[in-house]
């Protein structure tokens, strides 16, 4: 069964460093998403991406964040200058054109020290 994959599973970085989180969505999906979950809190929407552009973003997704689909398979989330409060699980999701259910990856645990 096709699945969304994410790398790395755990990333530790120092405050102020740039990080890139990588996702490989399901191959025939066209809509892509990033969510995050701070430990013990709700899953929060960050951004949606379709047709090579951002279709919606939340207040959390400020100028420090960017997304890119550099080739036909990867979907990346970049945090330019990490802050302690960026420590969280980051989930990538994708969905197809016909069905609206989203399929989530296993997540990347980002720890900013």
Partner 1 sequence: DAKTTQPTSMDCAEGRAANLPCNHSTISGNEYVYWYRQIHSQGPQYIIHGLKNNETNEMASLIITEDRKSSTLILPHATLRDTAVYYCIVRVVSNTGKLIFGQGTTLQVKP
Q: Are 84 and 15 in contact (CB under 8 A)?
A: yes
105 binds partner 1 (CB under 8 A): yes
Q: Quickly list DSSP for 35-94.
A: EEE-TTS-EEEEEEEETTEEEEE-TT--TTEEEE--SSS-EEEEESS--GGG-EEEEEEE
1 binds partner 1 (CB under 8 A): no
Site pattern 6..45 for partner 1 (x: CB under 8 A): -------------------------x-x-x-x----xxxx
Q: Kindly list the residues in this chain that would bind partner 1 in the complex (CB under 8 A).
A: 4, 31, 33, 35, 37, 42-45, 48, 50, 55-56, 58, 89, 91, 93, 95, 100-107
């Amino acid at each position: 069964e096709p699945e969304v994959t994410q790398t790395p599973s755990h990333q530790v970085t120092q405050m102020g460093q740039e990080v890139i989180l990588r996702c490989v969505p399901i191959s025939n999906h066209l809509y892509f998403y990033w969510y995050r979950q701070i430990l013990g809190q709700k899953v929060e929407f960050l951004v949606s991406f379709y047709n090579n552009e951002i279709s919606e973003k939340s207040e959390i997704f400020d100028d420090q964040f960017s997304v890119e689909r550099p080739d036909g398979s990867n979907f990346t989330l970049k945090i330019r200058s990490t802050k302690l409060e960026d420590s969280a699980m980051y989930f990538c999701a994708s969905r197809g054109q016909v069905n609206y259910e989203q399929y989530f990856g296993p997540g990347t645990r980002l720890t900013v020290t």
